[in-house]
Structure 1
Amino acid sequence: MIKDLNHYDMSAERGFLCRHNAGDVTLSGDWAVAAKTALALPQILPSGRVRAHLKSHLPDGDIADQVKELTDAQARAAMVHYSFMVQSYVWGEPDAPTVMPRCLAMPMVALADRLGQQPLLPYSGYVLDNWDRLDRGGPIDLSNIYMIQNFLGGQDENWFVLVHVAIEARAGAVLAAMGPICAAAEQGDIDAVQSGLEDMASVWGDLKAIFDRMPDRCDPYVYFERVRPYIHGWKDNPALPDGIIYEGVEKYGDTPRAFRGQTGSQSSIVPSMDAFLGIGHAADPLRAFLDQLHIYRPPGHRAFIDDVRATSRLRDFISASGHKGLVNAYNANVQAVADFRSRHLEYAASYINKQSKNADGNDTDVGTGGTPFMKYLKKHRDETQANLLTV
């Protein structure tokens, strides 16, 4: 059963974006010191001495004991700041370290455990919890949103993140429609299902239009050289073949840990659509990667995808109906998802694959999640299109 969106920490107005105003969240004491340090990263990273700066300015790792005192909004804000500092410590100087100092490692793991996430920068920290509106009475669109925490800052970094924020907000209408459409299908209400799917396809037109604006203010070269290097992870990354030791974290001991980097594939929008439409992907190493990404999503969002997958019988209902209008409405959404994946593939080619080779961990053939992304994106685009129905 698909529950009310609030149950999954979602909303029709914001989709998977945080439901609170992140710009209003205040941190005090040592957490405020950490936030101030993180917000100074655009000034510190160009110096090439970010590691020494973080170790000398951050509270001791024992701040991790205070995580339980934070509200959910405060924990998420702290997660944003600490995850940016963790990434900066690892990738902000030429050679990646094998040990993360306790002042970063201990609070990072404690915050991740509190929020049910992994201890590095997740998509939720990069996008979902890292924005606010300029005008609180205005819409959540590209004319009215800003990024809170940056690495280097600048138009290209901000625009890259904010395009994702705008897409997530508009997708709320799609996500909110899934429960009612599934219920209508269970009741055999062809008209309600067709109408709902047609409205959903229209929203997907808006999503693609937002995605199409990525090149407006995010240049491929700048993205590759000044944005992408900081969001890599340390699983399947040759720069850190064994991962990183999280110093002072008792449950990890002295064993290096490897986690996948932040990637747009951690967004829950398309996986929700796959579950809703009944789109499957062949069992192979790339499918295994897709499954691995599930644990990098916030727990509520994982639960939503799982519930949609367990509930939706939409594809079978439409296939059995033989109703041309219904099939066309369903196919319009399948094609919309395929088109969205095609645009993602095109951007991956221009923003990454076609850039100059870089031997310092910013590989043009490997995604920030640690996979051969061109093959991965093309495969899932093709598998999506293969799910078009015929009457």
Structure 2
Amino acid sequence: MSECLRTRGFLPCEDPDTEMRVGASFAMLDELAQELPSLLMEPDCRSYLAGQMIPDWPYETIPNRLVPQARLYYLRLGFLASGYINQIGQPACHRLPANIARPLARICHLLHRPPILSYDGYVLYNWKRFDRSQPIGLGNIDTLQNFVHLYDEHWFILVHVEIEAVASRILDAILELEETEGFGDETRVNAALTQIADALDQLSAVLKRMPEKMSDDLFYSKVHPYIGRFQDVEFEDVDSARLDYQGEPGAQSTIMPTLTGLMKVPHELNRLTRHLHDMREYMPEAHRRWVEYVDTLPDLKPLADAECWNRVLEGMASFREVHYHWAIKYIARRSPDPHDTGGSPYLKPLKFLIDETRAHMK
């Protein structure tokens, strides 16, 4: 596991599977994946999807050899569910039909996660490389599935994939400290902080590329609705209660919680920080355990050189500032809902997170 984190970060240890292979009947999910952007443009899309015979996961558990297949199966069903509930141009929908709800709920139960398409399915498992001998990065990756026929959505996902790939250098630095027992060694601590700061500079550089191929108008009107939350949704034949689940905010990425835990940044408890903590429930189980582990690591601040320590905190603040800018550009300017990026008022508290990060400098 540690070697995977060092080389892949929070991306899968092996490139994601691109097609379903657990049985002949599962090929229809790959076909629906290709058809979904076109289907979502039709007024009878929901009726069509509700009539599909979707195969159940054929095992009582998830054998290790089939983990990539289980992730792809969850991705396929998650896209169908979010497309069905959030279809643009159609009346609000609060009932997911049994043919989608039952298999989605079951595979998500086996994956120990809520039954909705989250950041892991939308980003971490949703890519392929054109050339497997070349790095995981923009220009060499594409998505496996989308909601719309717009490259803007591909770009939105792929920018996040490259960010996750670059973040492997942050995890590598942390694990190097662990493996060399370097948490009490000033030289090793500062070397690790320098590596993390360099990676953060690159993360911000990648995130700044978002407008290159993603229109703010198209993102807000054509893409953003599909990655919204489920509010008061009944899962037919699964649970009689109506359920609320968060959609796919970037807050479900494990990168910033890792850095916050490592740097022991003291954030004030408020609605946003509680919301960010709740987002851990949407992370893959292994990622949740990793964040819990990092929270227990020794405080590096007493041994850290001020310049190295402050570079990391400035890198975290700068990355959040880019995110803050994009939240305004792509969502806040167009949305009357102050909760629109994931269920909590976000702009003012996000600014507090940035200020509190800088306030923790030496």
TM-score category of the 2 structures, normalised to the smaller one: over 0.9
Q: Which of 1, 5, 9 pairs up with 1:11?
A: 5
Q: 5+ unaligned residues in a row in structure 1: which ranges?
A: 235-239, 319-325, 358-362
Conservation of the 8 A alpha-carbon contact between 1:156 and 1:223? yes
Q: 1:192 to 1:186 in 2, by over 3 A?
A: closer
1:68 maps to 2:64? no
| C-alpha separation in 1, matches of 2:137 and 2:49 | 34
Q: 1:187 to 1:159 in 2, by over 3 A?
A: closer
1:372 maps to 2:345? yes
Q: 1:183 to 1:311 in 2, by over 3 A?
A: farther
| C-alpha separation in 1, matches of 2:114 and 2:182 | 37
Determine the structure 2 residue equivalent to 1:298.
Answer: 284
Q: 5+ unaligned residues in a row in structure 2: which ranges?
A: none
1:56 maps to 2:51? yes
Determine the structure 2 residue equivalent to 1:323.
Answer: none
Determine the structure 2 residue equivalent to 1:360.
Answer: none
TM-score (norm 2): 0.93
Q: Which runs of structure 2 are paired with 1:288-327 in the superposition (5 Å)? A: 288-318=274-304, 326-327=305-306
| C-alpha separation in 2, matches of 1:67 and 1:98 | 29
| C-alpha separation in 2, matches of 1:198 and 1:98 | 49
Determine the structure 2 residue equivalent to 1:322.
Answer: none
Q: Which of 153, 157, 166 pairs up with 2:153?
A: 157
TM-score (norm 1): 0.87
Q: 1:207 to 1:134 in 2, by over 3 A?
A: same
Q: Secondary structure at the match of 2:142?
A: strand
1:271 maps to 2:257? yes
1:387 maps to 2:335? no
Q: 1:255 to 1:288 in 2, by over 3 A?
A: same
Conservation of the 8 A alpha-carbon contact between 1:37 and 1:57? no
1:108-130 alpha-carbon deviations (Å, 9 max, x no partner): 11111111111001100000000
Determine the structure 2 residue equivalent to 1:82.
Answer: 77
Conservation of the 8 A alpha-carbon contact between 1:48 and 1:92? no
Q: 1:91 to 1:365 in 2, by over 3 A?
A: same
1:124 maps to 2:127? no
| C-alpha separation in 2, matches of 1:370 and 1:222 | 22
Q: Secondary structure at the match of 1:256?
A: strand
Cα distance, 1:310 vs structure 2? 0.7
Q: Secondary structure at the match of 2:153?
A: helix
1:216 maps to 2:189? no
Q: Secondary structure at the match of 1:377?
A: helix
Conservation of the 8 A alpha-carbon contact between 1:267 and 1:297? yes
Conservation of the 8 A alpha-carbon contact between 1:86 and 1:120? yes
Q: 1:289 to 1:187 in 2, by over 3 A?
A: closer
Q: Which moved more, 1:199-208 or 1:144-153?
A: 199-208
Q: Which runs of structure 2 are paired with 1:218-297 in the superposition (5 Å)? A: 218-234=214-230, 240=231, 243-249=232-238, 252=239, 254-297=240-283
Q: Secondary structure at the match of 1:255?
A: strand
1:195 maps to 2:191? yes
Q: Secondary structure at the match of 2:340?
A: coil
Amino acid at match of 1:14: R
Identity of aligned residues (%): 29
Paired residues in the alignment total: 358
Q: Which of 309, 333, 350 pairs up with 1:354?
A: 333
Determine the structure 2 residue equivalent to 1:330.
Answer: 309
Q: Which moved more, 1:105-114 or 1:279-288?
A: 279-288
1:28-64 alpha-carbon deviations (Å, 9 max, x no partner): 333322232133111111113221111122326xx25
Task: Give the aligned CA root-mean-square deviation in angstroms.
Answer: 1.9
Amino acid at match of 1:279: V
Conservation of the 8 A alpha-carbon contact between 1:64 and 1:106? no
1:99 maps to 2:95? yes
Conservation of the 8 A alpha-carbon contact between 2:112 and 2:285? yes
Conservation of the 8 A alpha-carbon contact between 1:277 and 1:314? yes
Q: 1:122 to 1:303 in 2, by over 3 A?
A: same
Amino acid at match of 2:41: P
Cα distance, 1:187 vs structure 2? 5.5
Q: Which moved more, 1:95-104 or 1:69-78?
A: 69-78
| C-alpha separation in 1, matches of 2:160 and 2:145 | 15
Amino acid at match of 1:218: M
